[in-house]
């Protein structure tokens, strides 16, 4: 499998994933000193995409566990990750918006209801762009930014806090 890459906001550290004998690792390389640090990710079978928060303390991951892709927040200093939710829908290509308190991603979920109790058979045939607002960590909420049945938006990239470009 191919590694997934992300640059730390300070521009000095390159982070990538490494899969070895069924285990997943995050590898950090300081490009100035050459120092390399490996940290194992537990309870994740594969990382599909990742992005650093602007402050460099958190990484958002699209991780696969038991055949399902969900979003995870990884705390860099504590080397811990937690799923934002666990459901049957595909949550892909997450990116932090410049404010650091919102994440844009694509998903085949049929609506932004939090939490979504719909079955996977009710999922949309394509993917739409969603934004997760983390400003209130106790009550995060989703907003659906596109609704294009039968079409799949991909690879959302932040432009500003309220504008995103995507394929």
On whether the CB atoms of residues 135 and 122 are closer than 8 A, the answer is no
How far apart CA 109 and CA 107 sit, in angstroms, is: 5
Q: Tell me, what's the pLDDT at 91?
A: 94
- How many Å apart are CA 82 and CA 73, to the nearest integer? 6
CA Rg, the chain, in Å? Answer: 16
Per-residue pLDDT of the chain (167 residues; tens, 9 = 90+): 789 999 999 999 999 999 998 899 999 999 999 999 999 999 999 999 999 999 999 999 999 999 899 999 999 999 899 999 888 899 999 999 999 999 999 999 888 875 555 665 555 578 999 999 998 766 668 899 999 988 899 999 998 878 899 99
Is the entire prediction scored with pTM above 0.85? yes
Q: What pLDDT is recorded for position 120?
A: 58
Contact 61, 47 (CB under 8 A): yes
Question: Do residues 152 and 166 touch, judged by C-beta distance below 8 A?
Answer: no
Q: What percentage of residues in the chain have a pLDDT greater than 90?
A: 69
Rounded Cα distance between 46 and 98, Å, is: 26
Cβ neighbours of residue 75 closer than 8 Å, sequence gap 6 or more? 57, 58, 81
User: Cα 165 from chain centroid?
Assistant: 17
136 CB-near residues (< 8 Å, 6+ apart): none
Burial grade of 60 (CB within 10 A; 0-12, 13-18, 19 or more): buried
């Amino acid at each position: 499998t191919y590694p997934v890459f992300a640059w730390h906001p300070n521009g000095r550290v390159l982070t990538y994933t490494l899969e070895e004998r069924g285990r997943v690792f995050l590898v950090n390389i300081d490009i100035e000193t050459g120092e390399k640090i490996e940290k194992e990710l537990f309870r994740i079978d594969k990382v599909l995409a990742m992005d650093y928060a602007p402050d460099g303390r958190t990484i958002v991951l699209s991780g696969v566990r038991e055949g399902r892709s969900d979003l995870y927040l990884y705390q860099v200093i504590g080397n811990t990750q937690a799923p934002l939710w666990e459901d049957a829908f595909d949550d892909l290509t997450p990116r932090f918006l410049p404010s650091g308190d919102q994440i844009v991603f694509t998903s085949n979920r049929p609506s932004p209801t939090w939490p979504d109790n719909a079955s996977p058979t009710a999922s949309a045939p394509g993917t739409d762009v969603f934004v997760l607002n983390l400003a209130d960590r106790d009550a995060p909420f989703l907003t659906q930014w596109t609704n294009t049945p039968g079409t799949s938006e991909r690879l959302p990239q932040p432009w500003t806090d309220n504008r995103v470009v995507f394929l």
